[in-house]
C-alpha cells in the first residue's frame, strides 16, 4: 500500500500516461496542476509535454497518507485486523493509525480547486487538469459534489490514468437571475459529475 511513499512511475504507467495524453488533446485543457509525488508528476509531465503546457505542482494533491499502513501489503494489514480495509473503504471519517481519512484528504485538496476558481479566469472557457491519485481524486470529487460522509464510498476504484470529469455552474437560488459573471465563491458554485473512471485503463 503506497500512500505517500514516493515511488516511481512504472513502464506500464508511462504507457498509460501516453495514452491519456492522446485522450486529453480533445478536452480543451489549458492548465495542469499535479501532485508532487513522482508517479503523478511523471504522468503529468508526459501529458504536459504532449499538450505543450507548463506544469504546476501542489503537495496538497498528494495521495492519502496511510500512516502505519504505508509500505505494507494487503495481507499484512488484514493480519493486523481482519476486515479493517473494508471498514476503511466504507467509512470516510476513519483513518489508518497515524494516517488520513478521506474527509481529511478532501479538506486538504479542496482549496486547490477553490483557489483556481478565484484566480484562473481562463477556466471559464477551457479545462483544468488535476493529476493526482485515486484516493485523493475520489475524496475531492465527493467533496465538490457535496456528498454526505456516508456517500463517499460510492466513488471508488478509480483506475490508473482514468479520469473524474466535473463541470461547474452557478448554484441555483430561488428567485435569482443568472449572474452577469461566473461566481468564484465556493458557496455560489454547484459542481456536476460528467464522467467517472473514464479512460483507457483496464
What residue numbers does the annotated binding site for substrate cover? 39
C-alpha torsion sign, points 41, 42, 43, 45: positive
Residue 129 CA to residue 107 CA, distance in Å, equals 19
Residue 83 CA to residue 96 CA, distance in Å, equals 13
Cell for 165? 470529469
Q: Which residues of 173-193 are buried (b: 16+ CB within 10 A; e: fewer)?
A: eeeeeeeeeebbebeebebee
C-alpha closest to that of 8 among 37, 49, 45, 47: 37
Q: What are phi and psi of 198, to 5 degrees?
A: -95, 135
Evaluate whether 97 touches 65 at the Cβ level (below 8 Å): no
Please state at what angle helix 102-119 crosses helix 134-144, rounded to 10 degrees.
70
Cell for 62? 498528494
Annotated binding site: 39
Cell for 9? 512511475
Amino acid at each position: 500500500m503506497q500512500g505517500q511513499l514516493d515511488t516511481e512511475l512504472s513502464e506500464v504507467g508511462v504507457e498509460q500516461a501516453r495514452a491519456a495524453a492522446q485522450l486529453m488533446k480533445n478536452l480543451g485543457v489549458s492548465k495542469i496542476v499535479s501532485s508532487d509525488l513522482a508517479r503523478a508528476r511523471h504522468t503529468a509531465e508526459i501529458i504536459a509535454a504532449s499538450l505543450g503546457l507548463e506544469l504546476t505542482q501542489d503537495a496538497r494533491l498528494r495521495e492519502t497518507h496511510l500512516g502505519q499502513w504505508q509500505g505494507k501489503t494487503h495481507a499484512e494489514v488484514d493480519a493486523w485486523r481482519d476486515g479493517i480495509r473494508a471498514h476503511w473503504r466504507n467509512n470516510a471519517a476513519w483513518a489508518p493509525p497515524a494516517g488520513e481519512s478521506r474527509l481529511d484528504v478532501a479538506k486538504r485538496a479542496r482549496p486547490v480547486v477553490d483557489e483556481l476558481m478565484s484566480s484562473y479566469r481562463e477556466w471559464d472557457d477551457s479545462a483544468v487538469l488535476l493529476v493526482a491519485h485515486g484516493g485523493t481524486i475520489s475524496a475531492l470529487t465527493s467533496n465538490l459534489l457535496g456528498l454526505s460522509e456516508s456517500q463517499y464510498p460510492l466513488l471508488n476504484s478509480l483506475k490508473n490514468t482514468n479520469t473524474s470529469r466535473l463541470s461547474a455552474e452557478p448554484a441555483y437560488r430561488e428567485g435569482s437571475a443568472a449572474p452577469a459573471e461566473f461566481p468564484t465563491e465556493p458557496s455560489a458554485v454547484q459542481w456536476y459529475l460528467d464522467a467517472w473512471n473514464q479512460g483507457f485503463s483496464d
